[in-house]
Amino acid sequence: MPKVTQEHRDARRRQILAAAREVFAAKGFAQTSTGEIVAASGLSTGAVYSYFPSKNDLVAAVCESAVEDLVDLAALRDPGELLDRIRARHGSHGRLMTQVWAEAAVSPGLAARIRVRLADDQAKVADLIGQDRRSRGLPDTADHLGVAGALLALLTGYSQRLAVGQDMDTPGFRHALEALLGDAV
Amino acid sequence: MPKVTQEHRDARRRQILAAAREVFAAKGFAQTSTGEIVAASGLSTGAVYSYFPSKNDLVAAVCESAVEDLVDLAALRDPGELLDRIRARHGSHGRLMTQVWAEAAVSPGLAARIRVRLADDQAKVADLIGQDRRSRGLPDTADHLGVAGALLALLTGYSQRLAVGQDMDTPGFRHALEALLGDAV
């Protein structure tokens, strides 16, 4: 029997998650059956079940992988770039994120897992804000975690609006985003 | 046969919507049957159907009524007050809003109706920002609609986080919110 490498297993897992993301984004979690994900993955039912024994496992894995790191130092220095990034990936991914929030809001176990990812992301962005301040010789006194939270809240709201077909990006919107950051960064 | 007044009809409609909101907030749209809403409303099946012929009509009406006006002039001058208002109503309402975003993201017809409500709300907030500027003798030149959009995006994101059990409100968060407004208001 050929030995299945870890890389092979990881690739299979990614393949299943990519299929699950597509189907969930199009139909929502509740309306999707595991059979549809199996069909979209191109693998066998047994193969999919060996990675994800239940639909809940698929939902949880998709939700955790959907929380993306969007912010880096370059984007902090050019906040319009952040909006461009969100706009570029908003179609299927944005719809999926609305499903993730909705599912987590009624699933305490899933919410707990999502919170860990969100808190990690917020801490990373706070670190970047601190780095940026130091690189520009600014005093390192602000509550970077709070500023990072405000930035991420605004980006979340922007993404939700895009998901229902409303792009709020205007010069005034960018100006307000820069003010939010500029005052503290 | 007694004449049914418009007030009576409006009260009945509100009674059904209140029941639908509770059930939808707890279980999500997809997992809720019309029968459960009938039971929660305390009315007969026929009565509920005479107001809302299908579950889709209930979903649409609940979604439209869920987009609330949160911002007034007092709250604009004390942004922390805005966060307090969202926190105060976040339990059931916040969970419901996550369902509304998710449903609208996969239902183009519903998304169109929601966009009208969101655009109305944004225009109202932009007017308030203009009023506030004029009352303080500031020049009326900023893109108020864009600033209103940034404010509403941030509040949406804050509400989504609360719905998954994460309160981002800290002094730094409020400071960033004030900067977003203060630069333009």
Binary contact (A143, B98; C-beta < 8 A): no
The alpha-carbon gap from A29 to the nearest alpha carbon of chain B, in Å, equals 9
Give CA–CA dist B118/B112, Å, rounded.
Answer: 10
pLDDT at B183: 53
How distant is the alpha carbon of residue A130 from its chain centre?
Answer: 22
Beta strands in chain B (DSSP E): none
- Rounded CA Rg of chain B: 19
The alpha-carbon gap from A170 to the nearest alpha carbon of chain B, in Å, equals 6
Triad A103, A106, A110: Cα angle to 5°: 60
| Burial grade of A33 (CB within 10 A; 0-12, 13-18, 19 or more) | exposed
- In A, minimum Cα distance to B26 occurs at A106
The most distant pair of C-alpha atoms in chain B lies apart, rounded to whole Å, by 63
pLDDT at B165: 92
Give CA–CA dist A17/A51, Å, rounded.
Answer: 10
pLDDT at A137: 82
Binary contact (A184, B163; C-beta < 8 A): no
Binary contact (A151, B115; C-beta < 8 A): no
Low-confidence ranges of chain B (pLDDT < 50): 184-185
Q: Which amino acid is at B82?
A: L
- In B, minimum Cα distance to A83 occurs at B150
Which residues of chain B make contact with A183, given a CB cutoff of 8 A?
175-176, 179, 182-183
CB B174 within 8 A of CB A142: no
Binary contact (A168, B146; C-beta < 8 A): yes
Which residues of chain B make contact with A26, given a CB cutoff of 8 A?
106
Q: Which amino acid is at B14?
A: R
Which residues of chain B make contact with A168, given a CB cutoff of 8 A?
122, 146, 149-150, 152-153
Q: Distances in Å between the alpha carbon of B6 and those of A137, A159, B1, B39?
A: 66, 40, 16, 24
- Tokens at B137, concatenated: 């003798």
Which residues of chain B make contact with A150, given a CB cutoff of 8 A?
154, 168, 172-173, 176-177, 180
pLDDT at B185: 42
What residues contact residue A91 under an 8 Å CB cut-off, 6+ apart? none
CB B155 within 8 A of CB B122: no
pLDDT at B184: 46
Low-confidence ranges of chain A (pLDDT < 50): 184-185
Give CA–CA dist A148/A153, Å, rounded.
Answer: 8
CB A58 within 8 A of CB A20: yes
CB A22 within 8 A of CB A36: no
Give CA–CA dist B13/B7, Å, rounded.
Answer: 10
User: Which DSSP state fits B94?
Assistant: I
- Tokens at A132, concatenated: 């940026």
Q: Distances in Å between the alpha carbon of B24 and those of A109, A114, B159?
A: 19, 22, 17
Name the pTM for this structure. Answer: 0.86
Q: Shortest CA distance to B150 belongs to which of A167, A163, A92, A142?
A: A167
User: What three-state secondary structure class fits A147?
Assistant: helix
Name the CA dihedral angle for B88, B94, B95, B98, rounded to a multiple of 10 degrees. -170
pLDDT at A185: 42
- Tokens at B43, concatenated: 């009315």
Q: What is the ipTM of this complex?
A: 0.85
Which residues of chain B make contact with A122, given a CB cutoff of 8 A?
168
What residues contact residue A29 under an 8 Å CB cut-off, 6+ apart? A59, A99, A103, B30
Write out residues 108-147 of B within 8 Å (CB-CB) of A: 108, 111-112, 114-115, 118-119, 122, 142-147
Which residues of chain A make contact with B166, given a CB cutoff of 8 A?
115, 118-119
The alpha-carbon gap from B155 to the nearest alpha carbon of chain A, in Å, equals 7
Write out residues 61-90 of A within 8 Å (CB-CB) of B: none
pLDDT at A48: 95
Beta strands in B75-180 (DSSP E): none
pLDDT at A184: 46
Number of helices and strands in chain A (H, E): 10, 0
Give per-residue pLDDT as tens, A72-98: 888 888 888 889 988 987 777 888 888
Binary contact (A156, B160; C-beta < 8 A): yes
